Amino acid sequence: MPRPDAPTGSVRLLAGSVESGAPAKWADHLARYGPLPVGVDGPAELIDLVDRSGLRGRGGAGFPMSRKLRTVAAGRGRPVVVANGCDGDPATVKDAKLLEFAPHLVIDGVLLACHAVGADEATICVGEGDAHAWYVYAALQARRHEEITIRVAQVPHRYVASEESALVNFLNTGDARPTVTPPRPAERGVGGRPTLVDNVETLAHLALITRFGAEWFRAAGTAESPGTTLVTVGGAVRRPGVYEVELGTPVGAVLAEAGGESEPLQAVQMGGLGGSWMPIEQTHALPLAHEDCREAGTVMGSAALVALPERACGIAETARTLRYLAVESAGQCGPCMFGLPAIADDVDDLVRGGDASGDTLDRLRNRLGTIQGRGACAHPDGATRFAAAALRVFADDIADHAAGRPCPWSHAAPWLPVPAPTSQDARK
């Protein structure tokens, strides 16, 4: 079979769907990419290739994939691979898009990861009842003769359920809550075995890197954040949806890809619901890359952007999100059980107005400093980062609210995709 042509431009993972407009079937996948190149390189050479490519995780943290691979491969016992396709953050739907339109790229990546670390089984995790799970089942059925056993697990739709230790805990016990670490899943995970947990997009990139090389992958993106990424764009844009762009693309250009703003904007919410707010005047030229976002005082996170229009109340949006994050916590440590509901109460008070004495603001700032870095997992850190960014970005509005002059948009329909919180008793 002739060597397949490498995708060109910024659309790589979704190149097939852009051309056909339909999910890729097994025959389509083979025609486009050829057979899986397992066995061309040994495990060590494959990990070296990933290292040269600079591939970073696409689940939010941006951790170098080669370091995860080496840790798991060096662990005691036969490793396990877990592919996270849960879209646990409501602000992103990129995993669903990828699993629907390019499930075989993900499966290729799973098999390659198994080859790299020496795993003999893998699990693809999706949200419970997600429609795109059908495409995963169909793709696995078409490839039922693969040597590696790949299962599908449907994970409860809870915000913390897709954190890597929560996935491992769910696969081990049925309880989708994070566990205290160390040990990390890479050291002792599913069944007590070293476990590689990677986002499905990361694994799909691995499938392309193995075919087309590290240099091809680095031809897009930045030196520190190479390649392309899937971005979920929502809010006040003309064509909300999932777009594939080069890392380092300015946020303004990503919004333009989504049809541009549908009305004047005041801010952009970046990195998912555990991310941060940025004022619009600072975002248009901000490159969407880990290093640039970090330097700007924000996070790239799960590569989700929500454009907030001027006719919206950023404080009310923040309050709704914090209430959701408080209820959706694991409820296993003080910062989650008591701290997050308390800061949600404080921001609710600001939405209603009437803090002329400044007590609520002072109390909120003190709580944010107390909670940061003290949780059993990173969930409280994301919530406090989100709240602290709101205090900076919406400072003038907060002053008006605190003085008893709440804006007319405080009770308008929300722009951020915050679902109704689930019952705190429904954690499993």
Percent of the chain with pLDDT over 70: 95
Interval 218-267: pLDDT, tens? 999 999 999 999 999 999 999 999 999 999 999 999 999 999 999 999 99
Q: What is the pLDDT of residue 428?
A: 41
Relative to beta strand 80-85, strand 121-127 is parallel
Distance of CA 89 to the CA centre of its chain: 7
Q: What is the pLDDT of residue 2?
A: 58
Percent of the chain with pLDDT over 90: 70
Give, in order, the Cα–Cα distances in Å from 263 to each of 228, 235, 283: 28, 10, 16
Q: What is the pLDDT of residue 422?
A: 59
Burial (0-12, 13-18, 19+ Cβ within 10 Å), 422: middle
Q: Give residue limits of the domains in the chain.
A: 15-218, 228-309, 314-402
CATH of the domain spanning 15-218, picked from 3.30.70.330, 3.40.50.1370, 3.40.50.720, 3.40.50.11540: 3.40.50.11540
Q: What is the pLDDT of residue 276?
A: 93
Question: Which CATH code is given to the segment(s) 228-309?
Answer: 3.10.20.600
Mean pLDDT for all residues in the chain: 91
Cα 163 to Cα 178: distance, rounded to the nearest angstrom: 7
Question: Which residue blocks in 299-371 are alpha helix, DSSP H?
Answer: 314-327, 334, 340-352, 359-371
- Position 371, amino acid: I
Q: Is the pLDDT of residue 138 over 70?
A: yes
Q: Determine the average pLDDT of the residues in 341-352.
A: 91
Q: Determine the average pLDDT of the residues in 123-139.
A: 95
Confidence of residue 357 (pLDDT cuts 50, 70, 90): low
Q: What is the pLDDT of residue 187?
A: 92
CATH fold for the domain made of 314-402: de novo design (two linked rop proteins) (1.20.1440)
Confidence of residue 137 (pLDDT cuts 50, 70, 90): very high
Q: What is the pTM of this model?
A: 0.94
- Identify which has the larger pLDDT, 407 or 50: 50
* 273 SS3 class: coil
Q: Determine the average pLDDT of the residues in 359-375.
A: 84
Confidence of residue 425 (pLDDT cuts 50, 70, 90): very low
37: its two tokens: 């190149």
Q: Is the pLDDT of residue 412 over 50?
A: yes
Q: Is the pLDDT of residue 58 over 90?
A: yes
Q: What is the pLDDT of residue 267?
A: 97
Angle between helices 133-142 and 103-117 (to 10 degrees): 60
Most confident listed range (170-184, 226-240, 411-425): 226-240
Q: What is the pLDDT of residue 40?
A: 64
Cα 282 to Cα 200: distance, rounded to the nearest angstrom: 31
Q: What is the pLDDT of residue 404?
A: 83
Interval 289-344: pLDDT, tens? 999 999 999 989 889 999 999 999 999 999 999 999 999 887 888 778 888 999 99
- Weakest mean pLDDT among 159-173, 285-299, 342-356: 342-356
Cα 173 to Cα 428: distance, rounded to the nearest angstrom: 10
Contacts of 304 (CB under 8 A, 6+ apart): 89, 91, 92, 94, 231, 232, 233, 234, 269, 270, 271, 272, 275
- Weakest mean pLDDT among 131-140, 190-199, 363-372: 363-372
